[in-house]
Amino acid sequence: MNYFNWKKRLSQLVIVMLMITLFPLTGLAEETDIEPPLTGFEERNGEGWTTHPEELEFLEEVATLSDRVSYDQIGTSVEGRPIHLVRVGFPEPPSDEDIANGNNMLVIGTQHGNEAAPREMALELLRDLAFTEDEELVELLHDTTILFIPTANPDGREADTRSNADGIDINREHLSLSTLEVQAIASVLDEFNPDITVDAHERPRDSGNPDIEMLWPRNLNIDEELRSLNQEMVEDYLFPSVEEYGFSTGLYGTPGGAGGGDERIMRNMLGLRNGLGLLTETAGLQEPNYRVDAQLRAVEGVLSFYHDRFQEITSIVSGAPERQAFIGSEQNQPFYLDGADNWEPTNVIETKPTGYLLTNNQADAMATHMNLFSLEKEDVYSAGKYISMSQPKMAVIPFLLDKRATYNEVEGIALYNSQNVGTAVNMNSLVDHFANENAFINERDVRTLKMQLTAIDRFEKNEDSTKVNKHLDGLIDLLDYQVDNELISEDAAGDLLGYTELLKEKWMD
């Protein structure tokens, strides 16, 4: 596939008129007889990266010259630099609503500011798509929209540092959503749910061998059909296509280390968000033009794969949310808090929770996550929120809310029964769960708690708040006694005491 046909100048007016007839409103350079713009990097023949002002001027010029392109600001960096989203479609980009409801692909450049080639690739590719006459590309642009965040970390690019201006590696914050840059990226992922996302990087200390490494999302909680297709795209499609241009290829990372299943990084988060994902990593000590070309060839391969397997990709990606919601509702399937598809997990929740109970304060602290992951929540009377695992983004929920997760944001109460959440009956089922997990020293202590909860249930049904609160105080005394005498595990006691406090808040209203 040739992405540079726009460079061929047409010398005869009759050919120009023919192209206008065949391709109305395409925004081709030949229609206006205007040379498509070059990046600062191209103008200097690779002797200096595109500057931030040059990028802004370049985006404006491309959007002005091509009807296929629009862009706007989606966020602001720590130091106030704009973060842009570019949309490329044929004959023009659809509305954001239509993009979100249709097919789209996203290319993200330079999360790490000292990895400049991905940004240059993104700028050149969006320009090439804006003016290409290639039939396959025009067909693809008619069926889907290609989105770009050319510079995800503009402060880091300006300073030539891996981190953002606060010294944070933003590619370790896609679970926490703690930086402005990551929130901008997450807003795009949440709104548009791309079929495929390219997360382009470099290995700054490598001089080659291979020229470019690639990898798919390896997290074990990703939809199996997605991960299988993703692996096929990399190994069976992209490696051969990139190697045809003379570049050596390889898989990124090592088992148990870089390239694993870490839920915080973009590559894995793309799969956890139910899309296909690709990590590219060029060798940062190689010649700049060579690195940019390797990045271009890799993403060209993704575009070809998208074109050739369009219906299959659409079917698998669009079906993933429903499959994940179903798996989230199945407690007989484990949840993996570590591990990868090439590394045996060591931290596994064998009995998956049905959901997590949060206090109102915890729910407030998670407001950004609820919004940018589109997580569904249910009110537990006025006392808290319940986050069910039976929803499309279930794969991020334990990572965010489970006390056993390495990088959790809050410690919610894991529940194993989704019926009557926020009642003594539901809490009684949690006691049963902990009993089955051998959290109590003897059966007598289990019976004592269950008898107390049965009494509370009776008073709840009679809406006798005075007796409910009196017996909840008695339940706290029982749990404190069991803790003091080491009759209950620390985890079980913590969750049961937390649940009791939530019930007290409910019945004090």
Instruction: Return the ∠ at Cα 163 (arms to 158 and 166), rounded to 5°.
Output: 90
Q: Over the Cα atoms of the chain, what is R_g?
A: 27
- In this structure, which amino acid lies at residue 320? A
Cα 461 to Cα 351, 454, 465: the distances in Å are 30, 11, 10
- In this structure, which amino acid lies at residue 50? T
Q: What's phi and psi for 83, nearest 5 deg?
A: -110, 125
Cβ atoms 396, 175 nearer than 8 A: yes
- Among 263, 495, 225, 229, CA closest to 373: 263
Cβ atoms 91, 31 nearer than 8 A: no
- Among 125, 131, 159, CA closest to 49: 159
The question of whether 243 is a catalytic residue gets the answer: no
Which residue shows structure tokens 């896609």? 174
Strands 413-415 and 249-251: unpaired
Which residue shows structure tokens 């023949």? 45
| 421 DSSP assignment | T
- In this structure, which amino acid lies at residue 444? R
Coil vs helix vs strand at 432? helix
Cβ atoms 124, 81 nearer than 8 A: no
- Chain CA centroid to CA 182, Å: 10
Cβ atoms 382, 509 nearer than 8 A: yes
Instruction: Return the ∠ at Cα 53 (arms to 50 and 58), rounded to 5°.
Output: 70
Please state the three-class secondary structure of 296-315 as a single string.
Answer: HHHHHHHHHHHHHCHHHHHH
Identify the bridge partners of residue 384 per DSSP, sorted by sequence position: 359, 380
Q: Which of 115, 281, 409, 460 is catalytic?
A: 281
Instruction: Please list, in sequence order, all residues whose beta carbon lies within 8 angstroms of the beta carbon of residue 362, skipping any fewer than 6 positions away.
Output: 384, 385, 410, 412
Q: How many CB atoms lie under 10 A from the CB of residue 17?
A: 11
Q: What positions carry a catalytic annotation?
A: 281
